[in-house]
Amino acid sequence: MYGLIGKKLGHSFSANFFNKKFKDEGICEEYKLFPIDSISCLPDLLKNNDGLKGLNVTIPYKEEVIPFLNEMSPEAREIGAVNTILISRTGQYIFLKGFNTDALGFKNSILPLIRPEMKHSLVLGTGGASKAVDYVLGSLGINVTKVSRTGHADNIITYNDITEETIANNLLIINTTPLGMYPETETCPPLPYNYLTKRHLCYDLVYNPEMTLFLQKSKEMGAEVKNGLEMLKLQALGSWEIWNAST
């Protein structure tokens, strides 16, 4: 058995994706959704589901899960966030190793869209998903300015700080927040969308709905847009490879 842990999982396509893949590959496995109210529920979840071999991790636990792990891959440790866990059992002993396949999925999905003039970016949100995005953009030589509601650290600004000049200087804008995700589809990051142009690329990690309000508003101004569905599939395949390499 494999599964996904997170707080609200009604938006997730992961179970359908993996269960179809198991069927297509002729593998007798199952993928389940495990919504939990707190990451402190993880030990009981593992104890009560002794068939679990691997987990994906989504909002808001990609950072909170780290203290529960026995080991992390070098990339996950550098990023500071985990979205994939490999579970090994020896008797009653459970060993958890964390990985980050978000970085792989994001890089391979956005790379074909990056143009040479895209040297600066705005990354909306400061959670675990944003850390994978920061890691990838840094590896591509793209400067990152993070945006949050409070702007509580160096190189983090608030939405109120974003001006026409800010938008003009950052041709790449990536939403890593859950704003606009089903079922709260009428929400979006509070950007001055009227300053966007056809030179901008606006990427939303949200994939349900396919066209979030963030993407709609960006597209109306002529910006190129992309949602997170391809990233989801690529990171899922990365998880699949990790789990199957161990068997």
Residues marked active site are found at: 62
Q: How far is it, in rounded angstroms, from Cα 178 to Cα 174?
A: 12
Phi, psi for residue 242 in degrees, rounded to 5: -65, -45
Beta-bridge mates of residue 165: none
d(CA 18, CA 3): 9
Backbone angles phi, psi at 95, to 5 degrees: -115, 125
Find out whether 69 and 57 touch, Cβ atoms under 8 Å: no
Residue at 210: amino acid letter: E
Which has the closest alpha carbon to 11: 246, 229, 231?
A: 229
Angle subtended by helix axes 14-25 and 229-245, to nearest 10: 50
